[in-house]
Structure 1
Amino acid sequence: MKILFILIISLSIVLGSKNSQIDKETCNESDIVGYWLSPKDEISGRMSIVEIIKKDGKYFAYNVVFMDSLPANKDEHNQNFFLRDRDILGSVYIYNLERNTQNSYINGRYYDFNNGKVFHLKIKHNCDILTLIISIDNIGVLGSKKVYQHLSSDDVGFYIKDKFLHIDFSGVEN
């Protein structure tokens, strides 16, 4: 009886680890294109649903909808005076991000709507989690981290009824 019990436990551990290994492989093969929930902003206190898209081999992101019912703000801190009247929703703020390895993205830029400044950006992708490393230096030492959570299409569908948002690439450097 003990042998049968040990055999069943051993078999379930082996099968369980094999399934988790398959899930990790599937996860690592995916890229970051899709919808993500941003963390709560330190200054505005708002969270948003962000869409990451791929264009010409590079990755870009913009806010699709804020999680509260407040109206969208304008980009009033932009250093380019002509862009201060644009809506934050639909404006690209992560740009020129390149895939480095299966779960690493480099050479990106992060535009901060709170102060109008552009920072260096790296991203680490771990299944349903994106860790953004936003820094003033290219290495990523002097800065901060933000963690984004992946959203399923069902989750997004609740908040986004009509997707007719114009993606604004103005202010994005190549």
Structure 2
Amino acid sequence: MGIFILLMAMAWAGDLNGIYITHIGDSGRQSIVEFFKHNGKYYAYGFANVDGSKPKKDIHNPNPALKERFDKGTVFVYDLVRDGNTYKNGKIYNFDNGKTYYLKITLEKDDLKLRASIDKSGLMGETLIWKKLSEQEAQKYLSQKPSFQEVLKTIPKE
């Protein structure tokens, strides 16, 4: 029985699902985001700002049809595939400049080390650190979460 529990713990170790606090972005805001798995890939959407500021429209989006959507409740990290404690082959959209970057994430304890880059190999880019929130820390933001069904509708189709 002990070996089974150990194997189950190892299988769940390093899971990306959960609620995180981001770095302070170009806009000066820090967001609360949730990662989830859907159809074998990992995604994330933002649903609150630490400073309590309201959602902003996606005015920098190069697609005119998307300029009226809001940054909160919209999937902006997508298509990540798990490979051990690394998640790769993903993309991250930056609402502050309307650009999409290649993304690789490495789990380091309860931190996410995100490597966003303009090249697929990750040589030309920036590394960001996001911290996982405990259930207690996340509690004050949960009332702002949108319907999960609405979030799923925002997954980019590429």
TM-score past 0.5 threshold:
yes
Indicate the SS of the match to 1:68: coil
Matches within 5 A, 1:76-155: 76-101=59-84, 103-155=85-137
- Provide TM-score, normalisation by structure 2: 0.87
The unaligned stretches of length 5 or more in structure 1 are 1-21
RMSD: 2.0
CA distance in 1, matches of 2:66, 2:95: 11
- The equivalent of 2:47 in structure 1 is 64
Question: When you count strand as a share of all residues, which structure comes out higher?
Answer: 2
* SS in structure 1 of the partner of residue 137 of structure 2: helix
Deviations 1:62-118 (A, max 9, x none): 1010111221100111111010000100111100000012x1111000111111111
Cα gap change, 1:142 to 1:83, in 2 (>3 Å):
same
| Paired AA for residue 158 in structure 1 | K
Q: Secondary structure at the match of 1:39?
A: strand
Distance 2:144 2:112 in 1: 26
Q: Following the alignment from structure 1 to structure 2, what is the Cα–Cα distance between the partners of residues 29 and 143?
A: 28
Q: Which has the larger radius of gyration?
A: 1
Q: Which runs of 5+ in 2 are unaligned?
A: 1-5
Q: Which residue of 1 aligns with 2:35?
A: 52
TM-score norm. by structure 1 comes to: 0.79
2:37 equivalent to 1:31: no
Tell me if the contact between 2:47 and 2:146 (Cα under 8 Å) persists in the aligned partners: no
Quick one: which amino acid aligns to residue 122 of structure 1? Answer: K
Separation of aligned partners in 2, 1:48 and 1:27: 29
Of all paired residues, the percent bearing the same amino acid is 35
